[in-house]
């Protein structure tokens, strides 16, 4: 749960810019909550506050009722085990020199989990779980397609058995067909492993396919929050209606 999150940045020659302004939302265990909005709406910054990759100026973050806002040292390291991220551009986040099996095993190495052989076995199991051919394990990211790279990024995020996965525009760089397959994979993993997702996106069509609940962000604030189907059926805020009108096939509903 995020409560009253605030984050300001100092911009040279200007007043301080409030990127996240009193943002609160709750994600039920085993479900997907989406933060949606246009570029610059504050959704990615809000996600980084939740994961403690940035420190909030105000507000709290709780996981299973435990306040982790001020976690440091061992507590912060433990939090890193529970929350993993998948980014928009897998090629930028994957070491181009490493083999895929080593990339997937990297979090296990970082957390000193298992022997080298055990880490490799775990990585090979995850490569199979994200529906990648076994012969890709010895290849490098350059030899993979965009969809395959994103599957590698998902496998790496799952390596240390996190409870929560934050997906930051994780399918936006993919074509529609590949997007659909990745979303199906994410749904099956959630059902199988009981994962909780925080899904960051500007694309409401994608959000509708994967999320259970949605917070709509604009200029650093949440302007509307609802169950996904309720939001699509009866949006309450003008900005939400504008976003929905931009979804292909829905323009006529808001003409």
pLDDT in tens, 180-215: 999 999 999 999 999 999 999 999 989 999 999 999
What values do phi and psi take at 33, rounded to 5? -110, 130
Q: Where are the domains of the chain?
A: 2-254
Q: So what's the pLDDT on residue 254? A: 38
CA dist 144 and 38 (Å) reads 30
CA dist 64 and 27 (Å) reads 10
The end-to-end CA distance of the chain, in Å, is 37
Nearest residue to 1 via CA among 100, 76, 73, 67: 67
Spell out the per-residue pLDDT of the chain, length 255, in tens.
899 999 999 877 677 889 999 999 999 999 999 999 999 999 999 999 998 889 999 999 999 888 998 888 988 888 888 999 998 877 777 888 999 999 999 999 999 999 999 999 999 999 999 999 999 999 999 999 999 999 999 999 999 999 999 999 999 888 999 999 999 999 999 999 999 999 999 999 899 999 999 999 999 999 999 999 999 999 999 999 999 988 876 544 433
CA dist 201 and 127 (Å) reads 25
Radius of gyration, alpha carbons of the chain: 19
Q: So what's the pLDDT on residue 249? A: 62
Residue where the block lists tokens 């420190």: 55
CA dist 151 and 71 (Å) reads 30
2-254 — its CATH code? 3.40.50.300
CA dist 178 and 181 (Å) reads 5
SS3 content of the chain, % helix, strand, coil (to 5): 45, 25, 35
Nearest residue to 127 via CA among 136, 140, 115: 136
Token digits of residue 94: 């994957």
Token digits of residue 168: 């930051």
């Amino acid at each position: 749960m995020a409560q009253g999150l605030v984050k300001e940045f100092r911009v040279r020659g200007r007043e301080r810019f409030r990127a996240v302004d009193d943002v609160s939302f709750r994600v039920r265990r085993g479900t997907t909550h989406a933060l949606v909005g246009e570029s610059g709406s504050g959704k990615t910054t809000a996600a980084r506050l939740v994961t403690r990759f940035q420190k909030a100026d105000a507000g709290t973050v709780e996981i299973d009722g435990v306040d982790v806002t001020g976690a440091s040292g061992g507590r912060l390291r433990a939090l890193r085990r529970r929350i993993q991220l998948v980014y928009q551009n897998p090629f930028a986040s994957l070491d181009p020199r490493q083999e895929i099996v080593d990339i997937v095993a990297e979090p296990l190495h970082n957390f000193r989990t298992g022997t080298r052989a055990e880490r490799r076995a775990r990585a090979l199991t995850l490569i199979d779980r994200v529906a990648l051919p076994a012969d890709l394990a010895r290849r490098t990211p350059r030899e993979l397609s965009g969809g395959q790279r994103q599957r590698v990024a998902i496998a790496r995020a799952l390596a240390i058995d996190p409870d929560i996965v934050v997906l930051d525009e994780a399918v936006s760089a993919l074509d529609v067909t590949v997007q659909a397959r990745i979303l199906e994979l994410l749904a099956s993993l959630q059902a199988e492993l009981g994962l909780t997702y925080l899904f960051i996106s500007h694309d409401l069509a994608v959000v509708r396919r994967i999320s259970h609940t949605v917070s709509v962000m604009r200029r650093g604030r949440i302007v509307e929050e609802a169950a996904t189907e309720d939001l699509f059926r009866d949006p309450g805020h003008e900005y939400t209606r504008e976003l929905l009108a931009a979804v292909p096939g829905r323009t006529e509903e808001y003409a």
